[in-house]
Structure 1
């Protein structure tokens, strides 16, 4: 499945409404660790069918902060979150974001 970029609260809320399960990655466009994690995220996205979204923290800081506040998950970048039925079920950051770790959350 392809990655879908979101930049607004409306886009995020729509993604949550339309998908029982989805992944979201908070990505920094200037951090080498984020770049490596994003490559793993892209690899993961290409290998399965669960909807996969991302936001660039520099472009969507208010949305990133809103998600952290609303779901009680401390903001980190890079950070991957698995949402199930509108709740955060899992999250990882930095070097813990690997294609294998993401796939493991889906039992694959």
Structure 2
């Protein structure tokens, strides 16, 4: 799995534009949280590039303001860990904590 690092608020405009071509996954990860590590590991173990989703990884401890902007732009209250599926500039699916799964993402795509 090749993560695209989300490190600036300006990338959210790019993500919105890209999501018109293919779905985008944003994974909000807290590097100090064991639940977040487990959710990330499960996603990576089950990932399949053939799904056609471009994955972005947000390190919450290093980039907290971006998470606040994601909440504002996509209208999804912040949680950690959290995944958002963006299609046509809008969040069409989100999950957090133990609800994060590749199977859930597949169904949403």
TM-score interval, smaller chain: 0.7 to 0.9
TM-score, normalising length: structure 1: 0.88
**What is the number of residues matched between the two proteins?**
106
In the alignment, structure 2 segments of 5+ residues that lack a partner are none
Shift of 1:78: 0.3
Shift of 1:43: 2.9
CA distance in 1, matches of 2:47, 2:3: 7
> What's the C-alpha RMSD, in Å, of the aligned pairs?
1.5
Shift of 1:12: 2.5
Shift of 1:71: 1.9
User: 1:1-108 to 2 correspondence within 5 Å?
Assistant: 2-20=2-20, 21-47=23-49, 48-106=51-109
TM-score, normalising length: structure 2: 0.87
Q: Is the CA contact 1:45–1:52 (under 8 Å) kept in the aligned structure 2?
A: no
Following TM superposition, where does structure 1 have runs of at least 4 consecutive aligned residues deviating by more than 2 angstroms? 43-49
CA distance in 1, matches of 2:48, 2:62: 24
- 1:69-106, CA deviations, whole angstroms, 9 ceiling, x for partnerless residues? 22221100000001110001110000000121112212
In the alignment, structure 1 segments of 5+ residues that lack a partner are none
